[in-house]
Amino acid sequence: KCINFSYQSSFLVDHLHATTFAVFVIHRRSVPSLKCVCTSRKLLLPIIICAVQSLLRWCVITAVCQLSPYLNPSPPSSSSKPSLRSFDHSQSRILGALASLVMDAAAAEVPAEEILFQKHAKYFVRFLNILPARLASHDSTRVTIAFFAVSGLDVLDSLHLLSDSFRTDIVNWIYSLQVAPAPGARPCGGIQGSSTLNVLNPPECCGLEAYRWGHLAITYTGIAVLVALGDDLSRLDRRAIIEGVAAVQRPDGSFSATIDGSEHDMRFVYCAAAICAMLNDWGRVDRRKMAEYILKSIRYDYGISQHYEMESHGGTTFCAIAALELSGQLDILSPDVRAKIVRWLMFRQQDGFQGRPNKPVDTCYSFWIGATLKILNAFELTSFKDNRQYVMSTQDKTVGGFSKWPGSHTDPFHTYFGICGLSFLREAGLQPVEPALNISQRAFQRLKQLHAVWEIEREQPDGNGASSNNSSSSSTCVKRDVRVNIE
């Protein structure tokens, strides 16, 4: 009844629009997914609140329409019914006050949802025991799934759920996947993703069965699992691993995943940097070339792409910034460039974070974007409340875990990164996360203790630790005059 009003009173129109927009935002934020509404009784309260808010809005507009003849200083025309056409400035102020009441009522806080620690811990333990059939296609990367589960339990402070014998089994399994090339063979050292790859046995490749070579992503996650479980890494062939990393670096500074060639982009730049940092040795890896590759991948909007001339992406921006941090080259970015990268990252927050402009938000980007901002000392600029609200909206209250979007299926990947994102928010009960290496701070401190031991071993003439004649063995890069102005 109140739609056909005149636009002569713009002040009144603004109030009506503000009220309508407030109710729209309330609906959007209180009920992020209609699919979840039918499955959670706890969402009944936001639904009721929204209904009451809508009713109040209707009552406000109707009441003002009815009161307009009495509020108008000039008598209404006898030939027309009271309407919004006769509103003057005083009446619009009344409507504004009533609209403010509605908006204040809308601001009522809904109780914060709690993290289901035990369910999430049991969720990870299940994935360590048996994988669902839908993950059969991921058999060749089982180590990464183990990483999400073990490191997730570490952040949840629930590693005690794994018995000593179970931990030992996991550690022994990781070591069984280690590849040590024969003398004189191609440098293919590292960790492979699954023992299934050893079934195929064509002619020899690097002295071992075909397809038996280290993979950068698997090597990184495998070492992270060993560190999280408290292993001393004494059975790792650190020299072979570092030589394997250097062997897959390409002339442009990027890295392939394996010695036999593969995609070469920012993902494997990060994996290479993380491996070298965790083993405290950069060997023959050319860090200068790596930094130049990263700089060339900075796009016009100051996000960082997966490869030259590609679209800016939140995940690869993390890979690039973390690689610079781990190699001690973060200061290669000028303050102005860093500020513009932070600006691009900040614009990725809607309520949760998106990976690219004009894309929906996704749970995992609470880590990818959040960790990058942590490294750049800008995470405090984000909205903790909105971030938490979105991540918690993807929590599965039945079986545990977090999903990509509210109402979709959970998986170990999004569960782990969702929990890490909540850890950045200083959520009680979660272990702090080291953003650059993507492991818990507890595991990171353990790794630093191992580095101290290895430094002592290197000083001994008969030390068997990894060494290098071409570069410093320290994980901190010697500062180089490689600052590039990319304005």
CB 143 within 8 A of CB 174: yes
Beta bridge partners of 179: 190
pLDDT, residue 475, reads 36
Return the residue matching tokens 């994980």: 475
pLDDT in tens, 172-200: 999 999 998 878 788 889 999 888 766 55
Q: Which of 423, 416, 399, 429 is nearest to 157 (CA)?
A: 429
CB 402 within 8 A of CB 395: yes
CA distance linking residue 443 with residue 449, whole number of Å: 10
Q: Is 7 exposed, middle or buried (0-12, 13-18, 19+ CB in 10 A)?
A: exposed
pLDDT, residue 180, reads 86
Lookup: tokens for 114: 């709690």
CB 362 within 8 A of CB 404: yes
Return the residue matching tokens 């014998």: 165
pLDDT, residue 484, reads 35
CA distance linking residue 228 with residue 100, whole number of Å: 52
Q: Which of 371, 349, 347, 370 is nearest to 361 (CA)?
A: 349
* Per-10-residue mean pLDDT, the chain, length 487: 36 42 42 44 61 66 54 46 44 52 50 92 97 89 96 98 98 94 85 77 54 91 98 96 96 94 93 98 97 98 96 98 98 98 98 97 98 98 97 97 96 98 98 98 98 91 47 35 34
- Please count the CA atoms within 13 angstroms of the CA of 134 that sit on its side-chain side: 5
pLDDT in tens, 406-463: 999 999 999 999 999 999 999 999 999 999 999 999 999 999 999 999 999 888 865 4
Span(s) in the chain for CATH 1.50.10.20: 117-459
Architecture (CATH level 2) of domain 117-459 = Alpha/alpha barrel (1.50)
CA distance linking residue 36 with residue 406, whole number of Å: 7
pLDDT in tens, 20-48: 444 444 444 444 444 444 444 555 666 67
Q: Which residues contact 483 (CB under 8 A, 6 or more apart)?
A: 331, 332, 334
pLDDT, residue 319, reads 99
pLDDT, residue 63, reads 62
DSSP 363-417: TTHHHHHHHHHHHTT-GGGS-HHHHHHHHHHTB-TTT--BBSSTTS-B-HHHHHH
